[in-house]
Amino acid sequence: MIRIEDKQICTGCYACLNICPEQCVSMNNDNEGFWYPVVDNERCIDCGLCVKVCPIINRVEYENKPITYACINNREDIRLESSSGGIFTLIAEQIIACGGIVFGARFDDNFNVIHDYVDTKEGLQKFRGSKYLQSRIGETFKEVEKQLEKGRKVLFSGTPCQIAGLKSFLDKPNDSLFTVDIICHGVPSPLVWQKYIEYREAIAGSKARRIAFRRKDEGWKLFSISFIFENDKEYIQTYKSDLYMRAFLKDICLRPSCYNCQFKTLNRDSDITLADFWGIQNILPEMDDNKGTSLLFVNSKKGLGMFEEIKGNIISKKVDINEAVSYNLAAVRSSRYNPKREDFFREIDKLPFEQLINKYCSNSVLIRIKRKIKLPIRTILKEIGLLDVIKNI
């Protein structure tokens, strides 16, 4: 039976819970808020399926040659609601138009993130936009299997480890299954997220009614996180200043497996990979209006078929994969382990949220000095040969 001895190897994909014929695998939260499988020994029949299904223990390497595009959805309203170029919605609408069903990540009533499914265009709204914490898969893999058995087309979207979990659960390829993964920086702790919500609600004196991680009020590149509270107060802050986003991007509270992610590769398990096209202003400035441009990898024949179908509704241009990925190293490299991570989690219940983040996620004095050094001081330092010295500190 599955037993997690090294937390770095478990991505929390739920494949073992979904496969268990006796329903004796449950997912329990650890003290950092991440879930891991626990087997009920009394009911376990030792069939070994939970080990056989694990996509990390039984890693399948794919080999494909992705074709890479910069893409923009022609519908600006959808693009502004989406994290990058709004391509996920177009793919999902295509599946729904064929009578299919779409699985994705949405908020529940308490702003936890869970996987769910919809089969209407209107229903897609709740999947739009990145939610920067780990999504609970629940029993959705079993639901995918049921829908495929009924002969329905299914789109499943999620992180690369979730796609690997689903494929391992299903075991055999299925022509009716279409998968979309993302380039994933890593997933932060749901516990840190809940503490952040409590902190924001205490300041507002009201429960949150709506939360968005990727508002584009200040532009796509300087995206903002926003809360609207039941008392109509609003909080909006760019990712650089927001406490939660600082913790996320400092890599202090990611799932342990994210620091050694097994899915950092250009050979993807999915049919299409979606990401932000960081660096678009340098590669194709004509496709950068700061409202969001997607980087899209076509990874399979099915992916190519889908790309042909949505092509009429997007602006797209082929790009060189290596050049594109040079601005988005999260495609091929795990986030770096933050050496302060253990201390951060040791103090999570001891320090007030703001103090915790300020203690562990502040930029060092040198980084702050570097950021302050803009032109023309930058130019002067370059002239006198000091810029490289500062860069290397």
List of residues contacting ligand FAD (CB under 6 A)? 82-89, 104-105, 113, 127-133, 135, 157-159, 180, 182-185, 187, 274-276, 294, 328, 330
Nearer to ligand FAD, 18 or 84 (CB): 84
Write down the least CB distance from residue 292 to ligand FAD, Å: 6
Tokens of 74: 């022609």
Q: Tell me how many degrees the CA angle 385-389-391 measures, rounded to the nearest 5.
A: 115
Nearer to ligand FAD, 88 or 360 (CB): 88
Residues shown for the chain: 393
Nearer to ligand FAD, 240 or 378 (CB): 240
Nearer to ligand FAD, 1 or 223 (CB): 223
Tokens of 328: 């988005």
Whether 194 and 202 have beta carbons less than 8 Å apart is answered as no
Whether 284 and 319 have beta carbons less than 8 Å apart is answered as yes
Write down the least CB distance from residue 103 to ligand FAD, Å: 8
Provide the Cα torsion 187, 191, 192, 194; round to 10°: 110
Count of C-beta atoms within a 10 Å radius of residue 45: 11
Write down the least CB distance from residue 133 to ligand FAD, Å: 6
Strand ranges (DSSP E) for the chain?
A: 25-29, 35-39, 67-73, 101-107, 113-118, 154-158, 177-182, 208-215, 224-229, 234-238, 272-276, 294-298, 314-319
Write down the least CB distance from residue 104 to ligand FAD, Å: 3
Please report, as a single letter, which amino acid is at residue 38.
Answer: V
Nearer to ligand FAD, 296 or 356 (CB): 296
Write down the least CB distance from residue 124 to ligand FAD, Å: 8
According to DSSP, the β-strands at 234-238 and 272-276 are: unpaired
Q: Which residue has the tokens 């702790």?
A: 189
Closest listed residue to residue 68, CA positions, set 321, 322, 270, 308: 321
Whether 247 and 111 have beta carbons less than 8 Å apart is answered as no
C-alpha span between 322 and 367 (Å, rounded):
28
C-alpha pair distances (Å), 261 with each of 34, 82, 121, 286, 368: 16, 25, 33, 34, 30
Write down the least CB distance from residue 295 to ligand FAD, Å: 6
Count of C-beta atoms within a 10 Å radius of residue 12: 24
Nearer to ligand FAD, 89 or 257 (CB): 89
Nearer to ligand FAD, 64 or 157 (CB): 157
Write down the least CB distance from residue 117 to ligand FAD, Å: 11
Nearer to ligand FAD, 56 or 113 (CB): 113
φ/ψ (deg, to 5) at 322: -70, -35
C-alpha span between 255 and 34 (Å, rounded):
7
Nearer to ligand FAD, 283 or 330 (CB): 330
Write down the least CB distance from residue 44 to ligand FAD, Å: 29
Please report, as a single letter, which amino acid is at residue 208.
Answer: A
Nearer to ligand FAD, 66 or 86 (CB): 86
Write down the least CB distance from residue 193 to ligand FAD, Å: 10
Write down the least CB distance from residue 231 to ligand FAD, Å: 27
Q: At what angle do helices 353-360 and 190-204 cross, to 10 degrees?
A: 130
Write down the least CB distance from residue 127 to ligand FAD, Å: 5
Nearer to ligand FAD, 49 or 223 (CB): 223
Alpha carbon 321 to its chain's center: 20
